[in-house]
Chain A
Amino acid sequence: MLKINNLQASVDGKQILKGLHLEVKAGEVHAIMGPNGAGKSTLASVLAGREDYEITGGSVDFLGKELLELSPEDRAREGVFLAFQYPVEIPGVSTINFMKTAVNEVRKYRGLDPLDAPSFLRLMKEKMELVEIDQSLLKRSLNEGFSGGEKKRNEIFQMAMLEPKLAVLDETDSGLDIDALRIVANGVNKLKTSENAVIVVTHYQRLLDYIVPDFVHVLYNGRIVKTGPKELALELEEKGYDWIKAENVTV
Chain B
Amino acid sequence: MSTLLQALKPAFQAQQNWIEQRTSAWNALEKSGLPGLKDEEWKYTSLQNLDSQNFQVIKNTTIQVPGLEILNRVDAYTIILVNGELSSHQLPDTIQVSRLSAAPESIQNSFWNAPSLAQQDPLTQLNVAVSDDPIVLRLPAGKSLDKPVHLVHLLDASQKQVFSASRLLVHVEKNARLSLIESFHTFGSLSSFSNNFTQALLEQDAHLSYYKIQQDTGDAHHVGTTEVVHLGKSTSHSVTISLQGTLIRNNFHLIFKAPHSEGHMYGLYMSGGEQHIDNHTIADHAVPHCFSNELYKGILDGSSTGVFNGKIFVRQDAQKTNAFQSNKNVLLSQDAKINTKPQLEIFADDVKCSHGATTGQLDESALFYMRARGIGEEQAKALLMQAFANDILEKVEFDDLRALLLEAIEKRLLK
State the A residues within 8 Å of B (CB): 48-51, 71-73, 75-77, 81-82, 84, 87-93, 97-99, 101-102, 105-106, 109, 141, 158, 162
Within 322-381 of B, Cβ neighbours of A (below 8 Å) are at: 363, 365-366, 368-377, 379-380
Interface of B is mostly: helix
Are A76 and B373 neighbours in the complex by a CB distance under 8 Å?
Answer: yes
Stretch from B105-113, B159-167, B385-393 contacting the other chain:
B385-393
Q: Nearest Cβ distance between residue B376 and chain A, in whole angstroms?
A: 5
* Size of the chain B interface, CB-CB below 8 angstroms: 22
Closest 8 CB pairs of A and B: A92-B387, A76-B374, A72-B371, A88-B369, A102-B373, A106-B374, A73-B371, A93-B387
A42 to chain B, nearest CB (A): 14
Q: Is the CB of B372 within 8 A of A49?
A: yes
In chain B, positions 288-323 with a C-beta closer than 8 Å to chain A are: none
**CB of B383 within 8 Å of the partner chain:** yes
Instruction: Please give the distance in Å from A164's CB to the nearest CB on chain B.
Output: 10
Is B7 in contact with chain A by the CB < 8 A criterion?
no
Taking CB atoms, residues of chain A closer than 8 Å to B375 are 73, 98, 101-102, 105
13 other A-B residue contacts (CB within 8 Å) besides A84-B372, A105-B379: A48-B368, A48-B372, A49-B368, A71-B371, A73-B380, A88-B368, A88-B369, A89-B366, A90-B363, A90-B366, A92-B386, A102-B375, A162-B374
Contact A49 B369 (CB under 8 A): no
A-B contact count (CB 8 A): 75
User: What are the residues of chain B within 8 A of A162 when measuring CB–CB?
Assistant: 373-374
Q: Which residues of B contact A87 (CB under 8 A)?
A: 369
Return B387 CB to nearest CB of chain A, in Å: 3
Q: Verify if B405 is at the interface (C-beta below 8 Å from A).
A: no
Partner of B368, one of A72, A91, A109: A72
Cβ-based interface call for B409 (8 A):
no
Instruction: Out of A50, A51, A73, A93, name the residue touching B374 (CB < 8 Å).
Output: A73
B91 interface contact, C-beta 8 A: no
Residues of A within 8 A of B80 (CB): none
In-complex Cβ contact of A105 among B374, B384, B386, B388 (8 A) = B374
In angstroms, how far is the closest chain B Cβ from the Cβ of A25? 23
Contact among B374, B379, B390 for A77, CB-based, below 8 A: B374
Shortest distance between the CB of A52 and any CB in chain B (Å): 8
Cα of A141 to Cα of B377 in the assembled complex, Å: 20
A sample of 22 inter-chain contacts (CB < 8 A) reads A49-B371, A50-B368, A71-B371, A71-B377, A72-B368, A88-B363, A88-B368, A88-B369, A90-B366, A90-B384, A92-B390, A98-B375, A102-B373, A102-B374, A102-B375, A105-B374, A105-B376, A105-B379, A106-B374, A141-B387, A158-B373, A162-B374
- Which of B366, B368, B383 has the most chain A CB atoms inside 10 A of its CB? B368
Beta-carbon contact of A76 and B371 below 8 Å = yes
- Give the Cβ gap from B85 to chain A, nearest Cβ, in Å: 42
Known interface pairs A88-B365, A92-B390, A92-B391; A72-B383 also in contact (CB < 8 Å): no
CA distance A102 to B370 in the complex (A): 8
What residue in chain A is nearest B387 (Cβ atoms)?
Answer: A92
Closest to A90 in B: B366
Report the minimum CB–CB distance from B394 to chain A (whole Å). Answer: 9
Determine the residue in chain B with the shortest Cβ distance to A45: B368
Contacts of B373 in A (CB 8 A): 76, 98-99, 102, 158, 162
